[in-house]
Structure 1
Amino acid sequence: METLHPRASLWLLVLGTAVLLDLGTQPIWGIEDNSKLLTGINEKALTRFLIHVKRGMNDTPQYAVATLLPRAACQQPALAEQEGATIQKRLRDVRAKGKLDRDFYINQDNFMVAILQKGEYTTWHAEAVLVGTINTPDFRGNFLERFLATKKQQYPPNNSCFIFFSLISPCLDYCLNPNSSTYILSDLERSLQGFDSRFQAFAFKYAYEEDKPKGKKQVWEAWRQIPMPLFRCFFYPPASCMRCNNKTLDNRCFDEIWQFSAKDYFG
């Protein structure tokens, strides 16, 4: 009787485990596949805008910024450049005055910003702070929903663009886990009711360190639930923002993430 090579035996074990665990099953909390959502956002314009956001926050280790823009700024790189330069200046001013060291988030003009607090706030995620799902009962409230409601006259839902940028992608165990007290997706979706879905984007630069070993399939099944088109942005030359798609094997949005899912290997 022919003996299987040890490596082949290992892959069969992985595949068998995948079948038993049904790794290909869609998560029960699914909203929809954001890679299939229509978008009118120009990727070059998004890149130009977020370059300035990144500069405004400098080397802050983790932060999230939610911004309302005139729609044209999400379509035309030249206008995105102008809006971005303004945001960069305001973000630097917020940081220079130490406001983010005293407050868990800042609401200013047409943007909100939060950082990952240290010390007593180590359980807070910056993106959850902005949405309002903070893991502290005293500070609960949908801050993003209130922010958008107060800006509707200046930035009409049918003629504006909403950008949510988190330097590090949302953590699967917290912000994208429906059983977590910091779950952001239902509140994020509710906050954006009435705003044109074609002009919304969730963007990030890094994959969350603790998510990388979970594999591309598991990470994508969580990311794809974000109720707006998802972009990954790189800021080293040449800077670019690219839309994430559902092809786990050839998608640069999954750079840095290990392939550890049997579905990645066996289709």
Structure 2
Amino acid sequence: METLVLGQMPWAGLLLLPLLLYFWPETAGSIDPATLRVIMDCMNWPLTLGKCQYAFVVSLPHETCNQPTNLQEQLPEEALNAMNGALARQRRPYTRNDGPIVVARLRHQRTHWQHSECRLLFGGQNSWVAQLKARTCRPNCCLILFTLNSPCTSMCLVVNGPFNILGMTRAAFSDIDNNYQAFVFESIFVNDSWPMVTPQELRDAWHRVHDVPLQCCDNNSCRDCALVAPQNNPCLAGKIHTLGSK
């Protein structure tokens, strides 16, 4: 029998390692997809904005994200209707001092569009999300960031870009347990659904948000976007027809 020396790996293991790295998800831990869909359905049902871009962050107790049986207590209809009214007015981000939600819409600012996710995350310790966490995460919470359209490849996910949300997202979720966090979108951002953005490019951009599990939730289900191979990634189902176009 061959003796293995500490620090060495058999050739079979060395050959297998790249495959494991290729197919292994880049995020660990997440909220159960079925539970996440129940929460998202509850949050979105009162909204009357149609396809107008918006985003919200909701902070819930751990037990609610384990078993969402008391959602009406955590997310009363009054609070959800107030959220809808605030979004319809399209002003500054909205929150209630006693509520677990902060919401924002897309806004034009001088020379560029300030995306709704950025409006919630920008500001470090003074950001809307940081203030929400200071109010509700004592000491722990389940934190979910939802955006109607996926974070875009042209601004939100550009490494070192002036309007990217990568560092802000990392800071917002750095102290949240992996099993109690999610970054959720409903649809692929329209510009990223066009053929000039390949599934590989879109998947690579999404994986830059590696500090929090990215999930796609629509009327059917919630799906984990961590799979590396584009042809196996359920969040890319609408773009697979463009594979090989580059």
TM-score where L is the length of structure 2: 0.76
Residue identity matched to 1:152: C
Match of 2:204 in 1: 221
Structure 1 position 90 matched with structure 2 position 71: no
> How many angstroms does 1:142 deviate by?
3.0
Per mean C-alpha deviation after superposition, the further-off stretch among 250-259 and 50-59 is: 250-259
Pairwise CA RMSD? 2.9
- Matched residues in 2 for 1:44 and 1:95: separation? 24
Alpha-carbon contact 2:224-2:234 (below 8 Å) kept: no
Number of residue pairs aligned between Structure 1 and Structure 2: 216
**How much does 1:99 deviate?**
6.4
Aligned to 2:214: 230
Distance in 1 of aligned mates of 2:136 and 2:73: 16
Contact 2:26 2:207 in 1 (8 A): no
Cα shift readout 1:111-165 (whole Å, capped 9, x = no counterpart) = 11001236979611111111117xxxxxx95332233233332xx23xx211111
One-letter amino acid matched to 1:222: A
* Mapped contact 1:62–1:168 kept (Cα < 8 A): yes
Kept in 1: contact 2:102–2:128 (CA 8 A): no
Unaligned runs of 5+ in 2: 1-22
Q: Does residue 104 of structure 1 match 2:92?
A: yes
Identical pairs, percent: 23
1:6 alignment partner in structure 2: none
Distance verdict in 2 for CA 1:234–1:167, change over 3 Å: same
- CA shift in 2, pair 1:53/1:84, >3 Å: farther
1:49-84, Cα deviation, whole Å (9 max, x unpaired): 1012221323341110101111111121434x4367
The CA distance in 2 between the partners of 1:145 and 1:181, in whole Å, is 21
**Contact 1:203/1:230 (<8 A) preserved:** yes
Distance 1:129 1:34 in 2: 32
Other structure's SS at 2:25 match: helix
Q: Are the structure 2 counterparts of residues 54 and 177 from structure 1 closer, same or farther at C-alpha, using a change threshold of 3 Å?
A: same
TM-score between both structures, scaled by the size of structure 1 = 0.71
Shift of 1:92: 1.6
Equivalent in the alignment of 1:173: 154
- Asked whether 1:78 is paired with 2:69, we answer yes
Q: Is there any run of 5+ residues in structure 1 with no aligned partner, and where? A: 1-32, 134-139
Letter matched to residue 78 of structure 1: T
**8 Å CA contact 2:59, 2:137 repeated in 1:** no
Name the counterpart of 1:147.
132
| Distance of aligned partners of 1:229 and 1:241 in 2 relative to their CA distance in 1, 3 Å threshold | same
**Structure 1 residues 90, 120: CA separation in 2 closer, same or farther (over 3 Å shift)?**
farther
Query: Counterparts of 1:247 and 1:198 in 2: how far apart (Å)?
Result: 23
The 1:217–1:165 alpha-carbon spacing in structure 2 relative to 1, beyond 3 Å, is same
What's the counterpart of residue 249 of structure 1? 231
